[in-house]
Chain A
Amino acid sequence: MIPPGEVASILALTVQVSAAGTLLGALVGVPAGLALAGRGAGRRAVRAAVYALYALPPVVAGLLVYLALSASGPLGGLDLLFTPGAIVVAEAILAAPLIAGLTVAAVAEVPSNVREAIEAAGGSRFFAARALLCEARHGVAAAVMVGFGRALAEVAAALVVGGNIRHETRTLGTAILQEIGQGRFESALVLAAILLALALATVAALARLARAHPEAAP
């Protein structure tokens, strides 16, 4: 069995990298979603590309991040490969399209007369985007939670770019794989139960938000 102290540190690292990956994904995904929410053929095409990225296989995302962060890659100088930072980048890449796409949907739920009133007030694009974000805040919060759920459940990309290094980059998902590989199913089940509890807590928070604000349901 993995010592309880080590389980706690694996849990802490999992939550930290998932939260950081989601935050990074939201920093890209929310503004992108706001920008893509309007009309026009160009926006439609980019939206379709974003929706296609929902299906990006995590192992492919991991491979791309690996190549980018490897010593000969364009971001090799950052020296991030096989660190929690690399897992954060991979999870952000997986979460960002989901957050962007669901932000588009959240903005579409804002009544057209409210959107028109915001536009009619003039002001800068930043002011209008901030006002629109405020109107769509419950839906955007739900989008970020869905992104967090995806980051939390991530295994393949974390394994490729993090390397599952004990005490350094081992997350709940990669630790479960490790325990299964070594035939320690009891230990794997304990870790799986913790991961499941985290995922259920995220889903419960999402459900609570959707009950309070039905328009936010993704």
Chain B
Amino acid sequence: MRLEAEALVVRYGARAALAGVDLVIAPGERVAVLGPSGSGKTTLLRALHLLVAPTSGRVRVDDAVAGDADRRAALSRFGLLQQRPGLVAGTALANVAFPLRARGLARRAAEARARDALARVGLAERAEDDAARLSGGEAQRVALARAVVADPEVILVDEGTNQLDPATARVAESVLLEEARRGASLVVVTHSPAQARRLAARVAFLDGGRVVADGPTAAVLDHVDSPAIRAFVERA
């Protein structure tokens, strides 16, 4: 899937979370979105996922502007790993099967695929556990399984490994990289330049709701011209 933000502006009241973003995500591309807190990273991710309507500008999916009618169909082509895993009521298995059920897959088939996805994140034995009783890290791994279970064309990650210990975060990253090898695009919002280097071939750096640098990961992070990026990399 080709994803394009074109002169994208998103305002919350008087504040512009995005102040004119142009960004193209090519099919299969791995892009990290970096920037200081409040720079618009999460809003950009939500706008690319068609979850927030632009104040002006547009998001194109495969060169088409997703209207309201086909927006819901387009949504099912994405996988989303949120910063705080928004698990629904039910078991871990039901949560992972959720996107497949949303796409109309029968319960038995959806649950079979969901079990495979849970095994990928090391939670096969917790399938029948109530999602509300999982630890924060386990819940995040369930959310990761849910994000990849339907073989999405684009996986959007919003600081999705923050709640994981370093070893489990590496497992999560390896799952995301497997998805990229399958052909999925990755758009990863992160505070960590190190994670950006591991996951992304390209970095878009946001500051004040604008993309202030966009290029190969090493080029953006190692050959820093911008004081904002240098401060960010040094702080991290």
Q: Quick one: which of B72, B78, B86, B146 contacts A113, CB cutoff 8 A?
A: B86
A128 to B143, CA, bound (A): 18
Do A121 and B86 form a contact, CB below 8 Å, given A116-B51, A127-B101, A127-B102? no
Minimal Cβ-Cβ distance residue in A for B82: A113
| CB 8 Å contact bits of B76-108 with A (1 = contact, 0 = none) | 111010111111110000000011011110000
A128 to B98, CA, bound (A): 11
Asked whether A135 lies within 8 Å of B88 as measured between CB atoms, the reply is: yes
Asked whether B85 lies within 8 Å of A113 as measured between CB atoms, the reply is: yes
Measured between beta carbons, the chain B residues less than 8 angstroms from A137 are 89
Asked whether B72 lies within 8 Å of A120 as measured between CB atoms, the reply is: no
Give the number of residue pairs across the A-B interface with Cβ within 8 Å: 67
Minimal Cβ-Cβ distance residue in A for B75: A122
Q: Does A182 contact B (CB under 8 A)?
A: no
Sorting the interface of chain B by its residue count into under 10, 10 to 19, 20 to 34 or 35 or more gives 20 to 34
Chain A residues within 8 Å of chain B by Cβ, number: 21
Q: Does A150 contact B (CB under 8 A)?
A: no
Q: Does B58 contact A (CB under 8 A)?
A: no
Q: Quick one: which of B46, B82, B101, B103 contacts A117, CB cutoff 8 A?
A: B82
Q: Does A114 contact B (CB under 8 A)?
A: yes
Measured between beta carbons, the chain B residues less than 8 angstroms from A114 are 86-88
Q: Does A166 contact B (CB under 8 A)?
A: no
Q: Does B65 contact A (CB under 8 A)?
A: no
Measured between beta carbons, the chain B residues less than 8 angstroms from A135 are 88-89
Asked whether A121 lies within 8 Å of B82 as measured between CB atoms, the reply is: no
Q: Quick one: which of A118, A120, A123 contacts B78, CB cutoff 8 A?
A: A120
Most buried by A among B74, B76, B77, B89: B89
> Closest CB-CB distance, B63 to chain A, in whole Å?
20
Measured between beta carbons, the chain A residues less than 8 angstroms from B102 are 121-123, 127-128
Do A124 and B72 form a contact, CB below 8 Å, given A114-B86, A115-B86? yes
A135 to B132, CA, bound (A): 12
Asked whether A122 lies within 8 Å of B88 as measured between CB atoms, the reply is: no
Measured between beta carbons, the chain B residues less than 8 angstroms from A117 are 80, 82, 85-88, 98, 143, 146
| CB 8 Å contact bits of A98-142 with B (1 = contact, 0 = none) | 000000000000011111111111111101100100110100000
Do A134 and B88 form a contact, CB below 8 Å, given A120-B51, A122-B72, A123-B72? yes
Measured between beta carbons, the chain B residues less than 8 angstroms from A123 are 72, 76, 101-104
A119 to B87, CA, bound (A): 12
Measured between beta carbons, the chain A residues less than 8 angstroms from B41 are none
Measured between beta carbons, the chain B residues less than 8 angstroms from A116 are 46, 51, 80, 82, 86
**CB contact list, B156-187 vs A, under 8 A:** none
Measured between beta carbons, the chain A residues less than 8 angstroms from B98 are 117, 121, 131
> Closest CB-CB distance, B44 to chain A, in whole Å?
15
Known: A116-B51, A127-B102. 9 other contacts (CB 8 A): A113-B86, A117-B82, A117-B85, A117-B88, A118-B88, A122-B77, A128-B102, A134-B88, A137-B89
Interchain Cβ contacts under 8 Å between A and B, 11 examples: A113-B82, A116-B82, A116-B86, A117-B87, A117-B98, A117-B143, A121-B99, A122-B76, A124-B72, A135-B88, A135-B89
